[in-house]
Amino acid sequence: MIPFRSQPPTTRLREGYALLHQHDPEPAGLNRLLEACGDSPRTPERWERVLARSAWHLVVLNPGGQMVGFVRATSDLALNANLWDLVADPADPCRDELIGALVQAALARLRRELSGCSISLSAPPEALNALARAGFVVDPGGIRAMGLNLRTDGTERRG
């Protein structure tokens, strides 16, 4: 559940950081970020498909121009919106702020563009505080989500 009337204070990025809405990230940079966060890299072809099938994505660059945050959204444009790949570089000293800014910017955009959609996401543990501040409830009423991750080696991993 997301309370649309009361919003948390806006998370501001430190000077020199940039939250970009129109940026084409390089697959190598995305993979570096995913691997730093403990996730598996993807082929450039897979990134091309994933980004093409996403409604949009957000990127955070640090003062040196390196990608340190990312999230993307998909939607059926009617009832459902999903946030994917919510990551922030664990080595960045502003990691919590990066996650907070990505969550707030993503939710603001979903509210503007897809206000009637329910929102689901898969998020790392370090994002839980930012999500709770934004109104998300973990397992509301005991409802738990499940996912199926088809690995490249053909085996399944249930979560």
- In the chain, how many domains are there? 1
Q: What is the CATH number of the domain that holds 58?
A: 3.40.630.30
> Cα separations (Å) of 133 from 2, 25, 56?
10, 28, 23
* Residue 123, domain member (yes or no): yes
pTM of the model: 0.82
* Residue 11, domain member (yes or no): no
SS3 content of the chain, % helix, strand, coil (to 5): 30, 25, 45
For 123-136, the pLDDT digits (tens) are 788 888 888 888 77
How many CB atoms neighbour CB 57 within 10 A? Answer: 22
* Residue 74, domain member (yes or no): yes
* Residue 12, domain member (yes or no): no
Domain coverage including residue 24: 18-158
Does residue 82 carry a pLDDT above 70?
Answer: yes
Does residue 149 carry a pLDDT above 70?
Answer: no
Average pLDDT over residues 102-129: 87
* Residue 4, domain member (yes or no): no
Rounded to whole angstroms, the Cα distance separating 21 from 62 reads: 15
Does residue 41 carry a pLDDT above 70?
Answer: yes
Does residue 67 carry a pLDDT above 90?
Answer: yes
Given the structure tokens 């995913």, which residue do they identify?
34
* Residue 8, domain member (yes or no): no
* Residue 9, domain member (yes or no): no
Residue 75: half-sphere exposure toward Cβ, Cα within 13 Å: 21
Mean pLDDT of the chain: 85
